[in-house]
A and B are shown apart, each in its own frame.
Chain A
Amino acid sequence: MQHLLNIIQRPWHWSISGFLIGLTVPLLLLLGNKAFGISSSLRHICAACLPANISFFKYDWKKEAWNLFFVAGIIIGGFIAANYLQDGSDITVAAPTKERLANYGIRDYSLLLPHEIFEWSNIFTWKGRFFFMIGGFLVGFGTRYAGGCTSGHSIMGLSNLQWPSLVATCCFMAGGFLSANIIIPYVFKLFS
């Protein structure tokens, strides 16, 4: 048992991780005929908390409540994995990326996210406005406009061989390339 736990605690190979993520598609279909997709949960939260008479939020969100339980589970799973299923080693990041991140003042690889950015003390600085507020807004606005995110389009949609999901996935990637190679370096240069 201890041996098994040790194996789980080590970093996982990408093929194991990908296989288990992919298995979530048949798992949800078998459990209750549910299509894998996460960004819809953000819409249900809007519909539940502040529908404000907007037609896009006037639907029976309670019928989709399973999705909110699923994302609540993700929070629990994140807690379990981070606290009990890690071996405490630094995250392995490619050297050329480390070199670029050093220019941004990011040097600590002990956690999955750099604490130079993801700290409460940053929320009223440019980092907070850019990485949390603007970034978060774009994720919520963009996924809903695209009708899905990485899970709904790139995994569920592609698994079901839907070409609109391929278009969406290519655009996700194009936006990401633009952001990581032009926008983020520019913003760091501007403020630091």
Chain B
Amino acid sequence: MKYLKYLLAGTFFGIVLVKAQVISWFRIQEMFQLTSFHMYGVIGTAVITGIISLQIIKRFKIKSFNGEPIKVAPKSFDKGQIFGGLIFGIGWAITGACPGPLFAQIGSGFTVVIVTLFFAILGTWVYGLFSDKLPH
């Protein structure tokens, strides 16, 4: 079962999301009300860890476990990052969750977040419907 490793990686990540409390609506309000350093500390440490890891992988040309050279596609700029970014940010503060935490909130027992997830899927679908008419 070639996908089992991703299920386990997701399980690890889900545990960390809950223990980091980044799935907490309270923590998100604190972050955007600038009353606590917690979220900035978590995201900042995660980014620094990611930067160092990628530098090590690139410098030592580390291969993936199945022997492929590791490649990371660059991101290209379009206006969606501005308009979409603002729209997502508004939703992030309302729901207290970005997409990863939505799944973790459901798992940790807040089953009503299934409704939020359904509407997030609907939002993605509506974006797909109008994507070529939106400014990019």
Contact = CB atoms under 8 A, between A and B. Distances in A.
Interface in B40-58: 41-51, 53-54, 56-57
Interface in B122-136: 122-129, 131-132, 134
A167 interface: yes
Contacts of A94: 30, 33, 35-36
Nearest to A106: B26
A110 B42 CA distance: 22
Contacts of B35: 94-97
Contacts, number: 510
Nearest to A165: B75
Given A69-B6, A172-B88, A136 B78 contact: no
A34 B47 CA distance: 17
Given A100-B33, A142-B87, A155-B46, A118 B102 contact: no
A144 B89 contact: no
Interface of A: 8, 11-12, 14-15, 17-35, 38-39, 41-43, 45-46, 50, 52, 54-57, 65-67, 69-83, 85-86, 91, 93-97, 100-101, 109, 112-114, 117-120, 122-123, 128, 130-151, 153-165, 167-181, 183-184
Interface of B: 3-33, 35-39, 41-51, 53-54, 56-57, 62, 64-66, 68, 70-78, 80-100, 102-113, 115-129, 131-132, 134
